[in-house]
Amino acid sequence: MAPASSLSAWSDLQAHHESVGRTIVLKDAFKSDPKRFDKFTRKITLPADISSGGNGTDIIFDFSKNLITEETLEKLVKLAEEAGVEKKRDAMFAGEKINFTEGRAVYHAALRNVTNQPMKVDGVDVMNTKGGVNDVLEHMRVFSEQVRSGEWKGYTGKKLTTIINVGIGGSDLGPVMVTEALKHYGAKDMTLHFVSNIDGTHVAEALANSDPETTLFLIASKTFTTAETTTNANTAKSWFLEKTGGKGDIAKHFVALSTNESEVTKFGIDAANMFGFESWVGGRYSVWSAIGLSVALYVGFDNFHKFLAGAHAMDQHFQQAPLKENIPAIGGLLSVWYSNFYGAQTHLVAPFDQYLHRFPAYLQQLSMESNGKTITSDGSPAKYTTGPILFGEPCTNAQHSFFQLVHQGTKLIPSDFILAAKSHNPVSDNLHQKMLASNYLAQAEALMVGKTAEEVRAEGNVPEELVPHKVFMGNRPTTSILVGGAIGPAELGALIVYYEHLTFTEGAVWDINSFDQWGVELGKVLAKKILKEIDEEGAGSGHDSSTGGLLGAFKSYGGF
Ligand SMILES: O=P(O)(O)OC[C@H]1O[C@](O)(CO)[C@@H](O)[C@@H]1O
């Protein structure tokens, strides 16, 4: 595929940015076009039987507060066409090996293919083959129901009520985020811990208050070779054997979520207690796979299934909707518009929802591990900026910390705001929810309309020297996502997949491989070498003076 910047739609967008984009004033665009909201808002309705309220939940994506005209959208769609976004999308859904640096299909959509359409990789239907998607789902259903009901017992016959998921990256962030987001649906008698960091504090704190008789360990690692996970898992195993005086039955208390059966059995977990998946599931896309077992255990399999079904609904929309109506494609194209034509470097995602407090952290891996790449498909460096820095925190908290910069800083920060119309906790007669909503609406409005010097002066009593400090430039773009109900499993699934396919669209336009992650390797290799050097005499070898100096200082201060 040709580099994006050589496409004629790209030059066309550059000219369009010069002539139109740079001069769009959003508040004027709204004044002159009363239909702007309708024109740029898109909606998906989830099937009633999976929606949180029992009737189909609408999710509205209001793109109207973005720096676009109808012509901009047409030109962005043209860019997507020229960049082959639809062709690449279809190749992904056809199981083609679009992860071209690893020779792998990118097929996580099969994991949530709840309508059970045949989906094949190398001619094999991954849904119905032995050990395939449906078999693993059935294993997850049976196991999660047994644990939740107490039929699956620990070695002394007690119900397992503490779940410790040991995993990192995609084997952690998805399960953490989703179990937090769906806490309302979680088993009240279950305590969850997620141990990811190699910092011994993480595992020590999780084990500190856990009872080996009632604890279930999920060792979650696609490769089962990740240093942090195998080390934490071994520490957990030693703790378990020590606390149980060697009587603890690993088979009852440890299960593995992995693709690597030989490493799993070497660790001491029986293959029967392994929940498998395939290499075509990338780590950051794995919450839909066996890696999501903690979710199924916590919220129950029916809810896990709704989570998959909501995701599937967004997959179908992405596959079927024409680009101009295609919600994730529009999200991705807007990101390209801001990154490559306005020079934006960031993407803020602020959920107005406390349950979604780990959503931005989850999206960081999804977006930045996918599109933090320089090299394009022909091996040459991109001549344009690629993956933005995604960041975020829940609101209203974020408003009281970094929103100063979003409103008055020198950077353009395209922002997404997410709100559910209904709270799971409508306390104080919904006062909190109304205040939350008022902030969600006010922030997007304030970012757009800003405040001029004249408006500041008109407020009266403002010393002239303070006027510039109180001016808000405005014209700062936001996308407002409104879930027309409560955020339940299906709604969450659909929201995640919106960002997955947004990320896909960006990568497809930028002509990069969004599905590998070579950039994490170098640090891992160096850390292995340095770990050895910590136990050897001296301050290592072949290091620069900073690294060598710090290594020496660490050894001397730490007594190593
Ligand atoms: O599930 P694994 O194989 O332990 O990998 C954990 C994480 O490590 C990474 O490979 C990055 O180092 C991620 O892509 C992945 O999600």
Question: What is the secondary structure of 205-273 as a DSSP string?
Answer: HHHHT--GGGEEEEEE-SSS--HHHHHHHHHHHHHHHHHTTT---HHHHEEEEES-HHHHHHHT--GGG
> 363 CA to middle of ligand 1, Å?
15
Angle, in degrees to the nearest 10, between helices 133-149 and 301-320: 150
> 320 CA to middle of ligand 1, Å?
31
168 in ligand 1 pocket by Cβ < 6 Å? yes
Q: Has the ipTM of the complex gone over 0.90?
A: yes
> 184 CA to middle of ligand 1, Å?
28
Using the predicted structure, report yes or no on whether residue 123 has a pLDDT greater than 80.
yes
Q: Nearest C-alpha to atom 7 of ligand 1 is from which residue?
A: 169
| Number of other CB atoms surrounding residue 129 within 10 Å | 14
- The pLDDT-based confidence of 539 (bands split at 50, 70, 90) is confident
State residue 440's pLDDT score.
98
* Cβ 286 vs Cβ 169: under 8 Å: no
Query: Token pair for residue 137?
Result: 């789902």
CA distance 473 to 409: 9
Q: Nearest C-alpha to atom 14 of ligand 1 is from which residue?
A: 283
229 in ligand 1 pocket by Cβ < 6 Å? yes
CA of 220, closest atom in ligand 1: 1
Mean pLDDT, residues 415-426 taken together: 98
> 102 CA to middle of ligand 1, Å?
15
- The pLDDT-based confidence of 2 (bands split at 50, 70, 90) is confident
> 219 CA to middle of ligand 1, Å?
13
For 560, counting Cβ atoms within 10 Å of its Cβ (0-12 exposed, 13-18 middle, 19+ buried), the class is exposed
Q: Nearest C-alpha to atom 8 of ligand 1 is from which residue?
A: 169
Q: Is the bond into 191 cis (omega within 30 degrees of 0)? A: no
Is 400 designated active site? yes
| Nearest residue to 492 (alpha-carbon basis) of 309, 332, 347, 316 | 309
CA distance 391 to 361: 7
Alpha carbons within 13 angstroms on the beta-carbon side of residue 129 total 14
| Nearest residue to 102 (alpha-carbon basis) of 268, 193, 18, 222 | 222
Ligand 1, from 222, 261, 528: best to mutate by most atoms within 8 Å of Cβ? Answer: 222
Angle, in degrees to the nearest 10, between helices 489-510 and 85-93: 130
> 517 CA to middle of ligand 1, Å?
9
Catalytic residue chosen out of the listed positions 400, 411, 434, 529? 400
CA distance 27 to 432: 29
State residue 153's pLDDT score.
97
State residue 514's pLDDT score.
98
| Nearest residue to 228 (alpha-carbon basis) of 166, 156, 144, 140 | 166
> 168 CA to middle of ligand 1, Å?
6
Task: Using CA atoms of 66, 72, 73, 78 in order, give the dihedral in degrees to the nearest 10.
Answer: -140
Ligand 1, from 520, 521, 526: best to mutate by most atoms within 8 Å of Cβ? Answer: 520
Catalytic residue chosen out of the listed positions 82, 278, 369, 393? 369
171 in ligand 1 pocket by Cβ < 6 Å? yes
Amino acid type, 233? A
How much is the CA Rg of the chain, to the nearest whole Å? 25
CA distance 85 to 510: 10
147 in ligand 1 pocket by Cβ < 6 Å? no
pLDDT tens digits for range 213-253? 999 999 999 999 999 999 999 999 999 999 999 999 999 99
CA of 229, closest atom in ligand 1: 4
Alpha carbons within 13 angstroms on the beta-carbon side of residue 11 total 3
> 521 CA to middle of ligand 1, Å?
10
State residue 306's pLDDT score.
98
Mean pLDDT, residues 390-396 taken together: 98
Catalytic residue chosen out of the listed positions 39, 43, 158, 524? 524
**272 CB-near residues (< 8 Å, 6+ apart):** none
pLDDT, averaged across the chain: 97
Percent of the chain with pLDDT over 90: 99
Mean pLDDT, residues 148-159 taken together: 98
Beta bridge partners of 159: 153
Beta bridge partners of 125: 120
Report phi then psi at 351, rounded to 5: -80, 130
Query: Token pair for residue 431?
Result: 């006062």
Mean pLDDT, residues 360-380 taken together: 98
Mean pLDDT, residues 263-269 taken together: 96
Query: Token pair for residue 496?
Result: 């995640």
Ligand 1, from 226, 284, 366: best to mutate by most atoms within 8 Å of Cβ? Answer: 226
**69 CB-near residues (< 8 Å, 6+ apart):** 20, 24, 29
> 426 CA to middle of ligand 1, Å?
38
166 in ligand 1 pocket by Cβ < 6 Å? no
Instruction: Answer with the residue of higher pLDDT: 155 or 1.
Output: 155
CA distance 420 to 512: 34
Amino acid type, 521? E
CA of 369, closest atom in ligand 1: 14
State residue 46's pLDDT score.
98
Amino acid type, 33? D
pLDDT tens digits for range 205-221? 999 999 999 999 999 99
For tokens 């979003």, what's the residue?
406
**CA distances, 292 to each of 299, 415, 434 (Å):** 11, 28, 33
Give the H or E element holding residue 176: helix 173-181
* Cβ 471 vs Cβ 485: under 8 Å: no
520 in ligand 1 pocket by Cβ < 6 Å? yes
* Cβ 477 vs Cβ 415: under 8 Å: yes
230 in ligand 1 pocket by Cβ < 6 Å? no
CA of 170, closest atom in ligand 1: 16
State residue 543's pLDDT score.
96
226 in ligand 1 pocket by Cβ < 6 Å? yes
| Nearest residue to 311 (alpha-carbon basis) of 516, 50, 35, 137 | 50
* Cβ 281 vs Cβ 126: under 8 Å: no
555 in ligand 1 pocket by Cβ < 6 Å? no
CA of 524, closest atom in ligand 1: 12
Question: What does DSSP assign to residue 51?
Answer: S
Q: Nearest C-alpha to atom 4 of ligand 1 is from which residue?
A: 221
State residue 1's pLDDT score.
73
**CA distances, 91 to each of 98, 107, 120, 394 (Å):** 7, 10, 12, 35
517 in ligand 1 pocket by Cβ < 6 Å? yes
CA of 168, closest atom in ligand 1: 6
pLDDT tens digits for range 338-369? 999 999 999 999 999 999 999 999 999 999 99
CA distance 556 to 539: 10
Task: Please report which residue ranges of 300-357 form alpha helices under DSSP H.
Answer: 301-320, 327-336
